[in-house]
Structure 1
Amino acid sequence: MFTKFKKIELLILVLVVVLIFISEYYYVVLNNPERALFIGLWPPTIIGLLIYFNLKLKK
């Protein structure tokens, strides 16, 4: 299943999951919604950049 992914792509996906958990930690445990929101906005941005660069490389 994961053989189609490059190692760097898997690393980026793991980073995205870690960032989501960090954001949840700031929101739930530390009760800091502003920082949680700031960190929570990075995963979609990183995934969007990953998609953009993959599409750019295919052309």
Structure 2
Amino acid sequence: MPRKSKREIEATLEDIEEGPPGEYPTVDLALLLSCDWEPVNEEQNLKRRQDTGEVYYFPEFDF
């Protein structure tokens, strides 16, 4: 298995450090599947739980 270059590792770290916008919690897979959601801001990947009204950040899931 080839090793990643320093640039590839730095790019990955920069992506991780960006994280969710603002103070919104990140949704996990269990919560994603157990609740109904409505979009709040498509560009920032923010959605609201319909039952509580809480806003969560939806990261790009790699399935």
Q: Identify the structure with the greater helix proportion.
A: 1
Greater Cα radius of gyration, structure 1 or 2: 2
Q: Identify the structure with the greater strand proportion.
A: 2
Higher relative contact order (CA 8 A, sep 6+): 1
Same fold per TM (> 0.5)? no
TM-score by length of 1: 0.35
TM-score by length of 2: 0.33
